A and B are shown apart, each in its own frame.
Chain A
Protein backbone atom coordinates (compact mmCIF):
# COMPACT_ATOMS: atom_id res chain seq x y z
CA UNK A 1 0.00 0.00 0.00
CA UNK A 2 2.86 2.35 0.93
CA UNK A 3 4.44 1.59 -2.41
CA UNK A 4 1.26 2.56 -4.27
CA UNK A 5 0.96 5.78 -2.24
CA UNK A 6 4.56 6.66 -3.02
CA UNK A 7 4.12 6.40 -6.78
CA UNK A 8 0.68 7.97 -6.66
CA UNK A 9 2.32 11.00 -5.03
CA UNK A 10 4.74 11.21 -7.95
CA UNK A 11 1.78 11.03 -10.32
CA UNK A 12 0.00 13.84 -8.42
CA UNK A 13 3.11 16.07 -8.45
CA UNK A 14 3.42 15.52 -12.17
CA UNK A 15 -0.24 16.44 -12.76
CA UNK A 16 0.15 19.62 -10.69
CA UNK A 17 3.35 20.47 -12.53
CA UNK A 18 1.60 20.15 -15.87
CA UNK A 19 -1.33 22.26 -14.70
CA UNK A 20 1.00 25.05 -13.58
CA UNK A 21 1.07 26.52 -17.08
CA UNK A 22 -2.52 26.37 -18.36
CA UNK A 23 -1.80 28.53 -21.41
CA UNK A 24 0.82 26.05 -22.60
CA UNK A 25 -1.78 23.33 -22.42
CA UNK A 26 -4.07 25.34 -24.66
CA UNK A 27 -1.29 26.11 -27.15
CA UNK A 28 -0.61 22.37 -27.38
CA UNK A 29 -3.92 22.04 -29.24
CA UNK A 30 -2.73 24.15 -32.15
CA UNK A 31 -0.48 21.55 -33.70
CA UNK A 32 -2.79 18.56 -33.37
CA UNK A 33 -5.71 20.44 -34.93
CA UNK A 34 -3.50 21.80 -37.65
CA UNK A 35 -2.02 18.47 -38.67
CA UNK A 36 -5.50 16.91 -38.59
CA UNK A 37 -6.62 19.71 -40.88
CA UNK A 38 -3.67 19.22 -43.27
CA UNK A 39 -4.31 15.49 -43.51
CA UNK A 40 -8.06 16.03 -43.89
CA UNK A 41 -7.36 18.22 -46.95
CA UNK A 42 -5.41 15.36 -48.50
CA UNK A 43 -8.15 12.84 -47.77
CA UNK A 44 -10.86 15.14 -49.15
CA UNK A 45 -9.05 15.10 -52.51
CA UNK A 46 -8.58 11.32 -52.41
CA UNK A 47 -12.17 10.56 -51.41
CA UNK A 48 -13.48 12.84 -54.16
CA UNK A 49 -11.91 10.40 -56.63
CA UNK A 50 -13.38 7.34 -54.92
CA UNK A 51 -17.09 7.08 -55.68
CA UNK A 52 -17.57 4.22 -53.18
CA UNK A 53 -16.66 6.68 -50.37
CA UNK A 54 -14.90 3.96 -48.42
CA UNK A 55 -11.13 3.36 -48.41
CA UNK A 56 -9.81 0.28 -46.59
CA UNK A 57 -13.07 0.25 -44.64
CA UNK A 58 -12.74 3.90 -43.54
CA UNK A 59 -15.20 6.63 -44.46
CA UNK A 60 -13.82 10.18 -44.92
CA UNK A 61 -15.02 11.19 -41.46
CA UNK A 62 -13.48 8.08 -39.89
CA UNK A 63 -10.18 8.78 -41.66
CA UNK A 64 -10.01 12.33 -40.28
CA UNK A 65 -10.82 11.14 -36.75
CA UNK A 66 -8.23 8.38 -37.19
CA UNK A 67 -5.48 10.98 -37.78
CA UNK A 68 -6.69 13.01 -34.79
CA UNK A 69 -6.51 9.93 -32.55
CA UNK A 70 -3.04 8.82 -33.64
CA UNK A 71 -1.70 12.37 -33.23
CA UNK A 72 -3.44 12.63 -29.85
CA UNK A 73 -1.64 9.55 -28.54
CA UNK A 74 1.71 10.50 -30.03
CA UNK A 75 1.80 14.16 -29.05
CA UNK A 76 0.46 13.79 -25.52
CA UNK A 77 3.45 11.88 -24.17
CA UNK A 78 6.59 13.73 -23.12
CA UNK A 79 9.97 13.03 -24.73
CA UNK A 80 10.72 9.87 -22.79
CA UNK A 81 13.91 8.86 -24.59
CA UNK A 82 15.42 12.34 -24.28
CA UNK A 83 14.52 12.75 -20.60
CA UNK A 84 15.63 9.33 -19.42
CA UNK A 85 18.65 9.31 -21.74
CA UNK A 86 19.79 12.65 -20.30
CA UNK A 87 19.33 11.45 -16.72
CA UNK A 88 21.53 8.44 -17.45
CA UNK A 89 24.11 10.34 -19.49
CA UNK A 90 24.45 13.09 -16.89
CA UNK A 91 24.85 10.53 -14.12
CA UNK A 92 21.75 11.74 -12.25
CA UNK A 93 20.56 8.13 -12.24
CA UNK A 94 23.18 7.49 -9.56
CA UNK A 95 21.32 9.70 -7.07
CA UNK A 96 18.24 7.52 -7.45
CA UNK A 97 20.20 4.50 -6.18
CA UNK A 98 20.15 5.98 -2.69
CA UNK A 99 16.45 6.78 -2.79
CA UNK A 100 13.54 4.48 -1.93
CA UNK A 101 12.03 4.31 -5.40
CA UNK A 102 12.76 2.70 -8.74
CA UNK A 103 14.25 4.92 -11.45
CA UNK A 104 12.00 3.55 -14.18
CA UNK A 105 8.86 3.52 -12.01
CA UNK A 106 9.48 7.13 -11.00
CA UNK A 107 9.61 8.28 -14.62
CA UNK A 108 6.72 6.05 -15.58
CA UNK A 109 4.37 7.73 -13.09
CA UNK A 110 5.82 11.16 -13.76
CA UNK A 111 5.36 10.76 -17.50
CA UNK A 112 1.88 9.33 -17.02
CA UNK A 113 0.76 12.29 -14.93
CA UNK A 114 1.85 14.76 -17.61
CA UNK A 115 0.39 12.66 -20.39
CA UNK A 116 -3.04 12.33 -18.81
CA UNK A 117 -3.39 16.10 -18.28
CA UNK A 118 -2.16 16.96 -21.79
CA UNK A 119 -4.37 14.33 -23.34
CA UNK A 120 -7.50 15.36 -21.43
CA UNK A 121 -7.08 19.00 -22.48
CA UNK A 122 -6.55 17.94 -26.09
CA UNK A 123 -9.59 15.69 -25.95
CA UNK A 124 -11.74 18.47 -24.47
CA UNK A 125 -10.75 21.13 -27.00
CA UNK A 126 -9.85 18.97 -29.95
CA UNK A 127 -12.95 16.81 -29.82
CA UNK A 128 -15.19 19.87 -29.39
CA UNK A 129 -13.66 21.64 -32.39
CA UNK A 130 -13.33 18.57 -34.62
CA UNK A 131 -16.90 17.42 -33.90
CA UNK A 132 -18.10 20.79 -35.17
CA UNK A 133 -16.72 19.96 -38.63
CA UNK A 134 -16.66 16.17 -38.87
CA UNK A 135 -19.19 13.75 -37.46
CA UNK A 136 -17.93 10.43 -36.19
CA UNK A 137 -20.52 7.77 -36.91
CA UNK A 138 -21.21 4.55 -34.97
CA UNK A 139 -19.77 5.65 -31.66
CA UNK A 140 -21.21 3.75 -28.73
CA UNK A 141 -20.52 3.65 -25.01
CA UNK A 142 -18.79 0.30 -25.52
CA UNK A 143 -16.53 1.59 -28.31
CA UNK A 144 -15.48 4.61 -26.22
CA UNK A 145 -14.73 2.40 -23.21
CA UNK A 146 -12.76 0.00 -25.41
CA UNK A 147 -10.84 2.96 -26.90
CA UNK A 148 -9.95 4.31 -23.45
CA UNK A 149 -8.56 0.91 -22.42
CA UNK A 150 -6.63 0.54 -25.68
CA UNK A 151 -5.22 4.09 -25.38
CA UNK A 152 -4.03 3.53 -21.79
CA UNK A 153 -2.31 0.29 -22.81
CA UNK A 154 -0.83 2.08 -25.85
CA UNK A 155 0.68 4.78 -23.62
CA UNK A 156 2.14 2.17 -21.29
CA UNK A 157 3.54 0.18 -24.20
CA UNK A 158 5.09 3.28 -25.77
CA UNK A 159 6.70 4.18 -22.45
CA UNK A 160 8.12 0.68 -22.07
CA UNK A 161 9.68 0.60 -25.55
CA UNK A 162 10.99 4.17 -25.30
CA UNK A 163 12.25 3.46 -21.78
CA UNK A 164 14.07 0.39 -23.07
CA UNK A 165 15.76 2.45 -25.81
CA UNK A 166 16.74 5.19 -23.36
CA UNK A 167 18.55 2.60 -21.21
CA UNK A 168 21.00 2.21 -24.08
CA UNK A 169 22.44 5.51 -22.81
CA UNK A 170 24.37 3.38 -20.27
CA UNK A 171 26.49 2.16 -23.17
CA UNK A 172 26.14 4.80 -25.89
CA UNK A 173 27.39 8.37 -25.84
CA UNK A 174 24.00 9.67 -26.87
CA UNK A 175 20.52 8.36 -27.60
CA UNK A 176 19.18 11.36 -29.55
CA UNK A 177 19.66 9.58 -32.84
CA UNK A 178 17.86 6.49 -31.54
CA UNK A 179 14.91 8.75 -30.84
CA UNK A 180 14.64 9.80 -34.50
CA UNK A 181 14.58 6.24 -35.65
CA UNK A 182 12.12 5.09 -33.00
CA UNK A 183 9.82 7.99 -33.85
CA UNK A 184 9.84 7.13 -37.53
CA UNK A 185 9.36 3.42 -36.86
CA UNK A 186 6.27 4.30 -34.81
CA UNK A 187 5.14 6.68 -37.58
CA UNK A 188 5.39 3.97 -40.24
CA UNK A 189 4.61 0.73 -38.44
CA UNK A 190 2.20 2.43 -36.06
CA UNK A 191 0.24 4.03 -38.89
CA UNK A 192 0.51 7.67 -37.81
CA UNK A 193 -0.64 9.51 -40.92
CA UNK A 194 -2.36 6.68 -42.76
CA UNK A 195 -3.96 3.48 -41.47
CA UNK A 196 -1.72 0.49 -42.07
CA UNK A 197 -4.50 -1.01 -44.23
CA UNK A 198 -3.27 1.09 -47.16
CA UNK A 199 0.26 -0.37 -46.97
CA UNK A 200 1.41 -3.18 -49.27
CA UNK A 201 0.43 -6.71 -48.21
CA UNK A 202 3.99 -7.80 -47.25
CA UNK A 203 4.41 -4.84 -44.92
CA UNK A 204 1.07 -5.39 -43.23
CA UNK A 205 2.07 -8.98 -42.49
CA UNK A 206 5.32 -7.80 -40.86
CA UNK A 207 3.50 -5.12 -38.87
CA UNK A 208 1.18 -7.67 -37.26
CA UNK A 209 4.20 -9.29 -35.60
CA UNK A 210 5.50 -5.98 -34.21
CA UNK A 211 4.33 -4.00 -31.15
CA UNK A 212 3.86 -0.62 -32.90
CA UNK A 213 0.39 -1.37 -34.24
CA UNK A 214 -0.74 -1.39 -30.61
CA UNK A 215 0.54 2.15 -30.03
CA UNK A 216 -1.32 4.13 -32.69
CA UNK A 217 -3.31 2.13 -35.24
CA UNK A 218 -5.06 -0.19 -32.80
CA UNK A 219 -6.55 2.43 -30.45
CA UNK A 220 -7.44 4.78 -33.35
CA UNK A 221 -9.16 2.02 -35.30
CA UNK A 222 -11.03 1.00 -32.16
CA UNK A 223 -12.57 4.45 -31.95
CA UNK A 224 -13.47 4.95 -35.61
CA UNK A 225 -14.25 1.37 -36.70
CA UNK A 226 -14.98 -0.61 -33.56
CA UNK A 227 -14.76 -4.37 -33.95
CA UNK A 228 -14.94 -6.41 -30.72
CA UNK A 229 -12.94 -9.37 -32.09
CA UNK A 230 -10.11 -7.09 -33.28
CA UNK A 231 -10.14 -5.20 -29.99
CA UNK A 232 -9.75 -8.40 -27.95
CA UNK A 233 -6.72 -9.42 -29.99
CA UNK A 234 -5.33 -5.87 -29.76
CA UNK A 235 -5.57 -5.73 -25.97
CA UNK A 236 -4.04 -9.21 -25.65
CA UNK A 237 -1.15 -8.21 -27.92
CA UNK A 238 -0.60 -4.92 -26.09
CA UNK A 239 -0.52 -6.71 -22.73
CA UNK A 240 1.94 -9.36 -23.92
CA UNK A 241 4.26 -6.73 -25.41
CA UNK A 242 4.10 -4.64 -22.22
CA UNK A 243 5.08 -7.67 -20.12
CA UNK A 244 7.87 -8.54 -22.54
CA UNK A 245 9.30 -5.02 -22.39
CA UNK A 246 9.04 -4.87 -18.58
CA UNK A 247 11.22 -7.99 -18.44
CA UNK A 248 13.66 -6.52 -20.98
CA UNK A 249 13.84 -3.26 -19.01
CA UNK A 250 14.59 -5.12 -15.79
CA UNK A 251 17.42 -7.09 -17.43
CA UNK A 252 18.91 -4.12 -19.30
CA UNK A 253 18.68 -1.81 -16.27
CA UNK A 254 20.36 -4.38 -14.02
CA UNK A 255 23.21 -4.66 -16.53
CA UNK A 256 23.42 -0.92 -17.20
CA UNK A 257 23.52 0.17 -13.58
CA UNK A 258 26.76 -1.78 -13.19
CA UNK A 259 28.36 0.67 -15.61
CA UNK A 260 27.95 3.59 -13.22
CA UNK A 261 31.12 4.86 -11.57
CA UNK A 262 30.69 6.94 -8.43
CA UNK A 263 33.51 9.31 -7.64
CA UNK A 264 32.12 10.80 -4.49
CA UNK A 265 31.73 14.51 -3.87
Chain B
Protein backbone atom coordinates (compact mmCIF):
# COMPACT_ATOMS: atom_id res chain seq x y z
CA UNK B 1 0.00 0.00 0.00
CA UNK B 2 2.81 2.35 1.02
CA UNK B 3 4.67 1.50 -2.19
CA UNK B 4 1.66 2.34 -4.33
CA UNK B 5 1.13 5.60 -2.48
CA UNK B 6 4.79 6.52 -2.88
CA UNK B 7 4.62 5.78 -6.59
CA UNK B 8 1.47 7.85 -6.95
CA UNK B 9 2.96 10.85 -5.13
CA UNK B 10 6.15 10.64 -7.19
CA UNK B 11 4.04 10.53 -10.38
CA UNK B 12 1.99 13.58 -9.35
CA UNK B 13 5.15 15.53 -8.41
CA UNK B 14 6.67 14.68 -11.79
CA UNK B 15 3.56 15.90 -13.60
CA UNK B 16 3.54 19.13 -11.59
CA UNK B 17 7.20 19.74 -12.47
CA UNK B 18 6.35 19.05 -16.12
CA UNK B 19 3.48 21.57 -16.04
CA UNK B 20 5.69 24.14 -14.28
CA UNK B 21 8.46 23.73 -16.88
CA UNK B 22 5.98 24.02 -19.73
CA UNK B 23 4.44 27.12 -18.17
CA UNK B 24 7.86 28.77 -17.99
CA UNK B 25 8.51 27.84 -21.61
CA UNK B 26 5.13 29.25 -22.67
CA UNK B 27 5.72 32.52 -20.82
CA UNK B 28 9.19 32.90 -22.35
CA UNK B 29 7.67 32.30 -25.81
CA UNK B 30 4.95 34.87 -25.13
CA UNK B 31 7.61 37.36 -24.06
CA UNK B 32 9.03 37.23 -27.58
CA UNK B 33 6.03 39.38 -28.50
CA UNK B 34 6.03 41.54 -25.42
CA UNK B 35 3.65 44.20 -26.70
CA UNK B 36 1.16 41.56 -27.75
CA UNK B 37 1.36 39.80 -24.38
CA UNK B 38 1.05 42.90 -22.21
CA UNK B 39 -1.60 44.56 -24.38
CA UNK B 40 -3.81 41.46 -24.34
CA UNK B 41 -3.46 41.08 -20.58
CA UNK B 42 -3.99 44.80 -19.98
CA UNK B 43 -7.02 45.06 -22.23
CA UNK B 44 -8.55 41.99 -20.62
CA UNK B 45 -8.36 43.74 -17.24
CA UNK B 46 -10.15 46.74 -18.78
CA UNK B 47 -12.60 44.35 -20.45
CA UNK B 48 -13.57 42.71 -17.14
CA UNK B 49 -13.74 46.09 -15.46
CA UNK B 50 -16.11 47.43 -18.12
CA UNK B 51 -18.38 44.44 -17.73
CA UNK B 52 -18.63 45.12 -14.02
CA UNK B 53 -19.38 48.76 -14.80
CA UNK B 54 -22.61 47.63 -16.50
CA UNK B 55 -23.53 45.75 -13.35
CA UNK B 56 -22.63 48.77 -11.24
CA UNK B 57 -25.19 50.83 -13.20
CA UNK B 58 -27.69 48.03 -12.81
CA UNK B 59 -27.36 47.66 -9.04
CA UNK B 60 -27.28 51.45 -8.61
CA UNK B 61 -30.62 51.65 -10.36
CA UNK B 62 -32.40 48.60 -8.93
CA UNK B 63 -30.63 47.78 -5.66
CA UNK B 64 -30.08 44.22 -4.42
CA UNK B 65 -31.56 41.13 -6.06
CA UNK B 66 -32.81 38.94 -3.22
CA UNK B 67 -29.89 40.11 -1.08
CA UNK B 68 -27.38 39.88 -3.93
CA UNK B 69 -25.68 43.23 -4.52
CA UNK B 70 -22.65 44.68 -6.27
CA UNK B 71 -20.19 43.30 -3.69
CA UNK B 72 -21.56 39.79 -4.19
CA UNK B 73 -21.21 40.35 -7.94
CA UNK B 74 -17.57 41.34 -7.41
CA UNK B 75 -16.95 38.15 -5.45
CA UNK B 76 -18.56 36.12 -8.25
CA UNK B 77 -16.36 37.81 -10.84
CA UNK B 78 -13.21 37.35 -8.76
CA UNK B 79 -13.71 33.59 -8.89
CA UNK B 80 -15.12 33.58 -12.42
CA UNK B 81 -12.25 35.58 -13.90
CA UNK B 82 -9.67 34.07 -11.54
CA UNK B 83 -10.59 30.45 -12.26
CA UNK B 84 -10.87 31.09 -15.98
CA UNK B 85 -7.57 32.99 -15.97
CA UNK B 86 -5.70 30.29 -14.08
CA UNK B 87 -6.91 27.46 -16.32
CA UNK B 88 -6.29 29.27 -19.58
CA UNK B 89 -2.92 30.67 -18.51
CA UNK B 90 -1.58 27.22 -17.58
CA UNK B 91 -3.71 24.93 -19.76
CA UNK B 92 -4.25 27.30 -22.67
CA UNK B 93 -5.18 24.47 -25.05
CA UNK B 94 -8.06 23.25 -22.87
CA UNK B 95 -10.48 25.37 -24.87
CA UNK B 96 -9.21 23.75 -28.10
CA UNK B 97 -9.37 20.15 -26.92
CA UNK B 98 -12.50 19.36 -28.96
CA UNK B 99 -10.88 20.76 -32.10
CA UNK B 100 -7.64 18.87 -31.44
CA UNK B 101 -9.60 15.62 -31.12
CA UNK B 102 -11.85 16.12 -34.14
CA UNK B 103 -8.88 17.13 -36.33
CA UNK B 104 -6.96 14.02 -35.31
CA UNK B 105 -4.22 16.18 -33.82
CA UNK B 106 -3.87 14.03 -30.69
CA UNK B 107 -1.50 11.90 -32.77
CA UNK B 108 1.21 14.44 -32.21
CA UNK B 109 1.00 14.09 -28.42
CA UNK B 110 0.94 10.28 -28.56
CA UNK B 111 4.50 10.28 -29.80
CA UNK B 112 5.83 11.66 -26.51
CA UNK B 113 6.49 9.68 -23.33
CA UNK B 114 4.45 12.14 -21.18
CA UNK B 115 0.73 11.87 -20.46
CA UNK B 116 -0.72 12.92 -23.83
CA UNK B 117 -3.78 14.72 -22.40
CA UNK B 118 -1.73 16.79 -19.97
CA UNK B 119 0.78 17.56 -22.71
CA UNK B 120 -1.97 18.67 -25.09
CA UNK B 121 -3.53 20.92 -22.45
CA UNK B 122 -0.33 22.69 -21.37
CA UNK B 123 1.19 23.23 -24.78
CA UNK B 124 -0.26 26.71 -25.13
CA UNK B 125 -0.92 29.71 -22.91
CA UNK B 126 -3.79 32.10 -23.51
CA UNK B 127 -2.23 35.55 -23.26
CA UNK B 128 -5.41 37.36 -22.28
CA UNK B 129 -6.07 34.86 -19.48
CA UNK B 130 -3.21 36.42 -17.52
CA UNK B 131 -5.24 39.61 -17.56
CA UNK B 132 -8.26 37.78 -16.12
CA UNK B 133 -6.14 36.35 -13.34
CA UNK B 134 -4.65 39.75 -12.59
CA UNK B 135 -8.10 41.33 -12.65
CA UNK B 136 -9.28 38.87 -10.00
CA UNK B 137 -6.36 39.80 -7.76
CA UNK B 138 -6.83 43.56 -8.27
CA UNK B 139 -10.58 43.34 -7.60
CA UNK B 140 -9.92 41.31 -4.45
CA UNK B 141 -7.42 43.85 -3.11
CA UNK B 142 -9.77 46.77 -3.83
CA UNK B 143 -13.08 45.34 -2.61
CA UNK B 144 -12.27 42.83 0.13
CA UNK B 145 -10.33 43.00 3.39
CA UNK B 146 -6.95 41.33 3.19
CA UNK B 147 -6.40 38.85 6.01
CA UNK B 148 -5.31 35.25 6.36
CA UNK B 149 -8.86 33.92 5.98
CA UNK B 150 -9.79 35.94 2.89
CA UNK B 151 -6.49 35.22 1.13
CA UNK B 152 -6.84 31.50 1.91
CA UNK B 153 -10.40 31.50 0.55
CA UNK B 154 -9.29 33.44 -2.52
CA UNK B 155 -6.63 30.85 -3.33
CA UNK B 156 -8.94 27.97 -2.50
CA UNK B 157 -11.80 29.35 -4.61
CA UNK B 158 -9.67 30.19 -7.63
CA UNK B 159 -7.87 26.84 -7.60
CA UNK B 160 -11.04 24.78 -7.08
CA UNK B 161 -12.91 26.86 -9.68
CA UNK B 162 -10.04 26.35 -12.12
CA UNK B 163 -10.11 22.62 -11.41
CA UNK B 164 -13.84 22.44 -12.14
CA UNK B 165 -13.53 24.51 -15.30
CA UNK B 166 -10.63 22.37 -16.52
CA UNK B 167 -12.73 19.25 -15.94
CA UNK B 168 -15.61 20.88 -17.81
CA UNK B 169 -13.30 21.70 -20.72
CA UNK B 170 -12.15 18.05 -20.83
CA UNK B 171 -15.74 16.80 -20.70
CA UNK B 172 -17.05 19.02 -23.49
CA UNK B 173 -13.86 18.49 -25.49
CA UNK B 174 -14.32 14.71 -25.15
CA UNK B 175 -17.72 15.02 -26.85
CA UNK B 176 -15.75 15.29 -30.10
CA UNK B 177 -14.83 11.60 -29.78
CA UNK B 178 -18.48 10.80 -30.42
CA UNK B 179 -19.76 13.82 -32.33
CA UNK B 180 -16.75 14.74 -34.46
CA UNK B 181 -16.58 18.41 -35.39
CA UNK B 182 -18.72 20.22 -32.85
CA UNK B 183 -17.02 23.55 -32.21
CA UNK B 184 -20.27 25.47 -31.93
CA UNK B 185 -21.76 23.08 -29.36
CA UNK B 186 -18.47 23.18 -27.46
CA UNK B 187 -18.46 26.95 -27.56
CA UNK B 188 -22.13 27.20 -26.53
CA UNK B 189 -21.63 24.92 -23.52
CA UNK B 190 -18.55 26.85 -22.46
CA UNK B 191 -20.39 30.16 -22.75
CA UNK B 192 -23.27 28.66 -20.80
CA UNK B 193 -20.78 27.90 -18.02
CA UNK B 194 -19.48 31.47 -18.18
CA UNK B 195 -22.99 32.96 -18.24
CA UNK B 196 -24.13 30.97 -15.24
CA UNK B 197 -20.95 31.59 -13.26
CA UNK B 198 -20.97 35.37 -13.67
CA UNK B 199 -24.63 36.27 -13.21
CA UNK B 200 -26.47 36.87 -9.92
CA UNK B 201 -26.85 33.50 -8.22
CA UNK B 202 -29.83 34.60 -6.13
CA UNK B 203 -32.26 34.63 -9.05
CA UNK B 204 -31.91 30.94 -9.89
CA UNK B 205 -34.29 28.54 -8.18
CA UNK B 206 -35.56 24.97 -8.46
CA UNK B 207 -34.58 22.93 -11.51
CA UNK B 208 -32.35 25.72 -12.83
CA UNK B 209 -30.38 25.69 -9.59
CA UNK B 210 -29.94 21.93 -9.95
CA UNK B 211 -28.65 22.40 -13.53
CA UNK B 212 -26.23 25.12 -12.41
CA UNK B 213 -24.78 22.88 -9.75
CA UNK B 214 -24.81 19.46 -11.37
CA UNK B 215 -25.07 19.77 -15.16
CA UNK B 216 -23.15 22.97 -15.93
CA UNK B 217 -21.45 23.19 -12.54
CA UNK B 218 -20.87 26.92 -12.36
CA UNK B 219 -22.40 26.88 -8.89
CA UNK B 220 -19.50 24.94 -7.39
CA UNK B 221 -16.96 26.97 -9.38
CA UNK B 222 -18.09 30.47 -8.40
CA UNK B 223 -21.29 30.67 -6.31
CA UNK B 224 -20.02 28.69 -3.32
CA UNK B 225 -16.47 30.13 -3.30
CA UNK B 226 -18.00 33.64 -3.50
CA UNK B 227 -20.17 32.87 -0.47
CA UNK B 228 -17.21 31.34 1.37
CA UNK B 229 -15.17 34.49 0.80
CA UNK B 230 -17.74 36.44 2.80
CA UNK B 231 -18.78 33.84 5.39
CA UNK B 232 -17.19 30.52 6.23
CA UNK B 233 -19.29 27.37 6.12
CA UNK B 234 -17.62 24.00 6.62
CA UNK B 235 -20.38 22.24 4.69
CA UNK B 236 -19.95 24.47 1.62
CA UNK B 237 -16.17 24.10 1.81
CA UNK B 238 -16.44 20.31 1.87
CA UNK B 239 -19.01 20.30 -0.97
CA UNK B 240 -16.61 22.25 -3.19
CA UNK B 241 -13.67 19.95 -2.40
CA UNK B 242 -15.65 16.75 -2.94
CA UNK B 243 -17.28 18.00 -6.12
CA UNK B 244 -13.98 19.26 -7.61
CA UNK B 245 -12.36 15.84 -7.13
CA UNK B 246 -15.44 13.90 -8.28
CA UNK B 247 -15.93 16.05 -11.37
CA UNK B 248 -12.27 15.76 -12.35
CA UNK B 249 -12.39 11.97 -12.07
CA UNK B 250 -15.62 11.93 -14.09
CA UNK B 251 -14.02 14.05 -16.82
CA UNK B 252 -11.02 11.69 -17.00
CA UNK B 253 -13.32 8.67 -17.10
CA UNK B 254 -15.39 10.08 -19.97
CA UNK B 255 -12.25 11.19 -21.82
CA UNK B 256 -10.69 7.72 -21.55
CA UNK B 257 -13.91 6.08 -22.71
CA UNK B 258 -13.97 8.43 -25.69
CA UNK B 259 -10.32 7.80 -26.47
CA UNK B 260 -11.22 4.24 -27.49
CA UNK B 261 -13.29 5.75 -30.30
CA UNK B 262 -10.49 8.04 -31.46
CA UNK B 263 -9.44 7.60 -35.05
CA UNK B 264 -6.04 8.82 -36.08
CA UNK B 265 -5.73 11.83 -38.30
CA UNK B 266 -2.39 10.64 -39.71
CA UNK B 267 -0.91 13.92 -38.60
CA UNK B 268 2.31 12.87 -36.93
CA UNK B 269 4.76 15.67 -37.58
CA UNK B 270 7.56 17.52 -35.88
CA UNK B 271 7.00 20.89 -34.29
CA UNK B 272 9.63 23.46 -35.19
Which residues in A have some Cβ–Cβ distance to B below 8 Å?
21, 23-25, 27-28, 30-31, 34-35, 38-39, 41-42, 44-46, 49, 173-174, 176-178, 180-181, 183-185, 187-188, 192-194, 198-200, 203
Judge whether B230 is part of the interface by a CB distance below 8 angstroms. no
The complex places the Cα of A192 from the Cα of B57 at a distance, in Å, of 13
Say which residue of B39, B54, B62, B128 sits within 8 Å of A187 (CB atoms). Answer: B54
Inter-subunit contact B54/A188 (CB<8 Å): yes
Known contacts A21-B181, A200-B57: does B47 contact A173 (CB below 8 Å)? no
Inter-subunit contact A42/B65 (CB<8 Å): yes
Known contacts A42-B200, A187-B50: does B58 contact A194 (CB below 8 Å)? yes
Say which residue of B33, B50, B203, B208 sits within 8 Å of A188 (CB atoms). Answer: B50
Inter-subunit contact A198/B128 (CB<8 Å): no
The complex places the Cα of A95 from the Cα of B185 at a distance, in Å, of 34
The complex places the Cα of A184 from the Cα of B43 at a distance, in Å, of 11
Question: What is the 8 Å Cβ interface bit string for chain B, positions 135-160, against chain A (1 contact, 0 not)?
Answer: 00000000000000000000000000
The complex places the Cα of A44 from the Cα of B200 at a distance, in Å, of 13
Taking CB atoms, residues of chain B closer than 8 Å to A35 are 191, 195
Inter-subunit contact A41/B40 (CB<8 Å): no
Which residues in B have some Cβ–Cβ distance to A below 8 Å?
33, 35-36, 39-40, 42-44, 46-47, 50-51, 53-54, 57-58, 60-62, 65-66, 127-128, 181-185, 187-189, 191-192, 195-196, 199-200, 202-204, 208
Inter-subunit contact B65/A46 (CB<8 Å): yes
The complex places the Cα of A34 from the Cα of B191 at a distance, in Å, of 9
Inter-subunit contact A176/B128 (CB<8 Å): yes
Say which residue of A27, A183, A188 sits within 8 Å of B53 (CB atoms). Answer: A188
Inter-subunit contact B57/A198 (CB<8 Å): yes
Inter-subunit contact B195/A177 (CB<8 Å): no
Can you show 22 pairs from A to B with CB atoms below 8 A apart?
A23-B185, A25-B184, A27-B182, A27-B184, A28-B188, A30-B185, A30-B188, A34-B192, A38-B196, A45-B65, A45-B203, A174-B39, A178-B43, A180-B46, A181-B46, A181-B47, A181-B50, A184-B51, A185-B50, A188-B50, A188-B54, A199-B57
- The binding surface of chain B is classed by DSSP as helix
- With CB as the reference atom, state the residue of chain A lying closest to B35: A173
The complex places the Cα of A25 from the Cα of B182 at a distance, in Å, of 10
Taking CB atoms, residues of chain B closer than 8 Å to A44 are 203
Give A105 Cβ to nearest chain B Cβ, in Å.
27
Taking CB atoms, residues of chain B closer than 8 Å to A183 are 47
Inter-subunit contact B128/A38 (CB<8 Å): no
Q: Lowest 4 A-B CB distances belong to which pairs?
A: A177-B43, A30-B188, A184-B50, A27-B185
Known contacts A27-B184, A38-B199, A46-B65: does B58 contact A176 (CB below 8 Å)? no
